[in-house]
């Protein structure tokens, strides 16, 4: 068996990565986006640093890379999607909360394999863990409103 040098996450019974592996991927991607907000370090360097500095054996690495690279690549579009739902200018949003809502916006728009309720819940949980005291309420409000716009078929009442 050849070793590619890349750890792959443990798969669940369905062959899909475990939810915890994706949760850790989101948290690392959020940390990378937060780092990028202040340093303007190239995303590839941030990605490499996070991989070296963290135990990646229980991280869905493909998902981590998709989130980090995708949010960076689509940041302007994501910000345009988010701005109508913000209660303050983008520049005044807490950097951690901004990273979280950008991640959520990316997942809502580009990761249709992830149910919108999962995206919102994961954003809330990250905000509780990493954000300010009331940050989870802000994240919930923004992602809930955005989900109704970008996931209309999934969010409309039945």
Domains and CATH numbers, the chain: 19-150 (1.10.940.10)
Query: Mean pLDDT by 10-residue block, N- to C-terminus, for the chain (158 residues)?
Result: 39 63 96 94 96 94 97 98 96 96 98 96 97 95 97 82
pLDDT of residue 40: 84
Token digits of residue 74:
């689509």
pLDDT of residue 10: 46
Q: For the whole model, what pTM was predicted?
A: 0.87
pLDDT of residue 155: 80
Nearest C-alpha neighbor of 63 from the set 96, 19, 33 = 19
Token digits of residue 148:
């109704």
H helix intervals, 8-94: 19-39, 43-53, 61-73, 75-82
pLDDT of residue 19: 79
Task: List own/partner pairs for 105-108 with CB under 8 A and 24 or more apart.
Answer: 105/78, 105/81, 105/143, 105/146, 105/150, 106/67, 106/70, 106/71, 106/74, 106/78, 107/67, 108/143, 108/146, 108/147, 108/150, 108/151
């Amino acid at each position: 068996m050849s070793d590619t040098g890349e750890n792959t996450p443990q798969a669940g019974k369905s062959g899909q990565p475990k939810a915890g592996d994706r949760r850790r991927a989101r948290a690392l991607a959020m940390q990378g986006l937060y780092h990028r907000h202040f340093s303007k370090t190239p995303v590839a360097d941030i990605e490499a640093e996070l991989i070296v500095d963290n135990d990646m054996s229980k991280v869905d690495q493909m998902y981590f890379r998709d989130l980090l690279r995708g949010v960076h690549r689509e940041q302007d579009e994501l910000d345009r999607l988010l701005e109508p739902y913000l209660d303050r200018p983008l520049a005044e949003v807490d950097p951690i909360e901004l990273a979280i809502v950008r991640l959520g916006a990316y997942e809502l728009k580009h990761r249709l394999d992830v149910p919108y309720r999962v995206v919102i819940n994961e954003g809330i949980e990250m905000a509780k863990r990493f954000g300010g005291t009331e940050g989870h309420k802000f994240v919930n409000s923004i992602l809930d409103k955005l989900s109704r716009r970008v996931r209309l078929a999934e969010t409309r009442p039945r």
